Structure 1
């Protein structure tokens, strides 16, 4: 009986650990995607600001 209880406890710990590592693997992928999207948006905003700051008839 004691061995069966220990096996259940270890199995539970193992599954919790697997779940946590799986979540750790998912989070960076989502963060990387969000980071790339933010960089692209920043670049677009910089371009828009640059265009808005250019004065008509003025040479750059």
Structure 2
């Protein structure tokens, strides 16, 4: 297990190096999760467009035998 912090982790720790209320911490978490979800959604949309994926393609993939 790697115990070294990444640059991003260190930056986030520096931003949070102050006395924050629980509600502020929860809001920060919500915003990070929302950002990552939006980013993933854009990447999925791009994959669908680049690979000509349709709803039918997804149904076909889901119904393939394992």
Residues 1:53 and 2:49 aligned together: no
**Structure 1 stretches of at least 4 aligned residues deviating more than 3 Å after TM superposition:** none
TM-score by length of 1: 0.52
Separation in 2, partners of 1:52, 1:34? 27
TM-score by length of 2: 0.47
1:33-44 matched pairs, under 5 angstroms: 33-44=32-43
Unaligned segments of structure 2, at least 5 residues: 1-19, 54-66
CA RMSD of aligned residues (A): 1.8
Highest Rg: 1 or 2?
1
| Count of residues paired in the alignment | 34
Structure with a larger share of its residues in helix: 1
